[in-house]
Amino acid sequence: MKETKPSKGAQTRQRIISEAASLFNRRGYHGGSLQDLMKATGLEKGGIYRHFSSKEELAALAFEHAWRESFAARQNDLDVIPNNVDKIKQLITNFVERRPAIPGGCPLLNTAVDADDGNPLLRDHARKALKGWQDRIESMIAEGIRSGEIRRGVDTRRLANLIIASLEGALMIARLERSDQALRDAAAHLHGYIETELRNQKRK
């Protein structure tokens, strides 16, 4: 495949999205002002908004960027783990230990709360991000059931939600307390639950 260098305009656009992701993830979409974004990018208002049709569009693209980074960080090293139970456990560990480069906590949690009663475009992106995460975990569980690593009869959606909810809720506590303790406790609880309720012990 031939690599084409992105145009100057495309590079600038990407840089704005990246700065907006960092700004909005810390301050929220209402709290992150155009002035902040001008300062972060060194661009004038016109230089920013000629790349986007609206603040909503920029917010959606910034969320996608932030989510992509977070999602990738959580899946670090998963491919080299053959067993699906261990893979799910590593995903949980990654959530606690591998923080994405974009500051401000989990973009999904932030955006879910932020777009809850206001920005339907952004809310739609958050809903799809959640769906993607649920699907990723569910597919690991389903594969584990097929391979005999995970017990039959596990409710894949329910377990995926249990993992996501425990981690996101613990992140809320951890950020308020400025301590990772709640996150580490949540991971330990999930690991224990997975070992006793999920892993097919007969196979060992």
CA pseudo-torsion sign 104, 31, 168, 139: negative
User: Is residue 125 within 8 Å of residue 60, measured between CB atoms?
Assistant: yes
Q: Which helix (H) or strand (E) holds 204?
A: none
Q: Return the number of other C-beta atoms located less than 10 Å from residue 37's C-beta.
A: 22
CA 58 to chain centre: 18
56 makes contact with a second copy (CB under 8 A): no
Q: Does residue 127 interact with a second copy by CB under 8 A?
A: yes
28: nearest Cα among 117, 113, 95, 127: 113
Q: Does 194 bind a second copy (CB under 8 A)?
A: no
Quick note: the x/- pattern for a second copy over 137-166, rule CB under 8 A, is ---------------------x--xx-xxx
- Binding-residue pattern over the window 11 to 30 for a second copy, x denoting contact by CB under 8 A: ---------------xxxxx
Closer by beta carbon to a second copy, 128 or else 146 = 128
Residue from 118, 120, 132, 148 touching a second copy (CB under 8 A): that is 118
For a second copy, which residue of 56, 185, 191, 200 counts as binding (CB under 8 A)? 185
CB of 82 to a second copy, least distance (A): 28
Answer for the pair 194, 89: CB distance below 8 angstroms, yes or no: yes
Q: Which of 66, 126, 137, 150 touches a second copy by CB under 8 A?
A: 126
Q: Nearer Cβ to a second copy, position 52 or 133? A: 133
From 188, 32, 6, 4, select the one nearest 95 (Cα to Cα): 188
**Total of chain residues touching a second copy, rule CB under 8 A:** 43
Name residues whose C-beta falls within 8 Å of residue 119's C-beta, 6 or more positions apart in sequence. 29, 56, 59
Residues contributing to the site for a second copy (CB under 8 A)? 26-31, 103-105, 108-110, 112-114, 116-118, 123, 126-127, 130, 158, 161-162, 164-170, 172-173, 175-177, 181-182, 185-186, 189, 193
